[in-house]
Amino acid sequence: MYKMMVTKPVGYRLMICAALIGVIVFSSCSSSKQVTRVDADTTIDLSGRWNDTDSRMVADEIIGDCLTHPWINDHGISTGDKPVVIVGGIRNKSMEHIAVATFISDIERAFINSGKVRTVSSSSERGEIREERADQGEFAAIETVKRMGRELGADYMMTGEINTIEDREGGDQVVFYQTDLTLTNIETNEKIWIGQKKIKKFIGRGKFKL
């Protein structure tokens, strides 16, 4: 006798497919990432690349060094006042993306928190502030309008760059970061301070051997 082959209905096959898709989706959801909030000052190195800790550490250390050199005392003796500093361009000449704007903010924070200098806004920030003053002149009450031509001129400008050197062998990698900053007298164009900070990171599966 011949056995009759029974063909499953189309609806039955669709139900099986739907069930399989549901299992896959459920598996994906169950293996989703877990997010844990940590303190913003916590040092976490996942990729070994430049991160927020590097930015903050370099800014604090290099500005701390800057403010211990003779130029700041010389300025106080000659003018009787705190120096006014503006942070100019910091160029990223490395082989990776670095949030330069965050680094500049860290430098400005280090300057301001020191209490030893006065820091003025960058050129891009000044444009927005000037627009606000112009707007006040037209719409604000006269007694509250801020006058034009009263900006604080900077005595010194800080500029610099960030460079990297990478060395790879197999699955191991060494990344060397060098940050160079220069403080220049705006009136005389004299470089009055040059600072440097280096960071070296080993990224690999094995243990680093000297």
Chain segment 89-98, per-residue pLDDT in tens: 999 998 888 9
Confidence bin at 210 (pLDDT 50/70/90): very low
The dihedral region occupied by 189, where left means phi > 0, alpha psi between -120 and 50, and beta the remainder, is: left
Which pLDDT score, from 0 to 100, does residue 29 have?
Answer: 52
Residue 47 resides in a domain: no
Q: Could you give the number of structural domains in the chain?
A: 1
Given a cut of 60, whether residue 151 has pLDDT beyond it is yes
The dihedral region occupied by 143, where left means phi > 0, alpha psi between -120 and 50, and beta the remainder, is: alpha
Residue 177 resides in a domain: yes
Which pLDDT score, from 0 to 100, does residue 124 have?
Answer: 83
Residue 145 resides in a domain: no
Residue 185 resides in a domain: yes
Residue 185 belongs to domain with CATH number: 3.40.50
176-184: average pLDDT: 96
In the chain, where does DSSP find H-type helix?
10-30, 52-66, 70-79, 100-114, 123-139
Residue 192 resides in a domain: yes
Q: How many CB atoms lie within 10 A of CB 94?
A: 19
Which pLDDT score, from 0 to 100, does residue 42 have?
Answer: 65
Q: What is the largest CA-CA distance in the chain?
A: 115
Secondary structure of residue 172 in the 3-state scheme: strand
157-161: average pLDDT: 97
66-80: average pLDDT: 96
- Where in the sequence is the domain holding 92, given as residue range(s)? 52-123+151-203
59-63: average pLDDT: 96
- Distance between CA 73 and CA 68 in Å, rounded? 9
Residue 98 resides in a domain: yes
Residue 157 resides in a domain: yes
Residue 67 resides in a domain: yes
Which pLDDT score, from 0 to 100, does residue 1 have?
Answer: 47
Given a cut of 70, whether residue 182 has pLDDT beyond it is yes
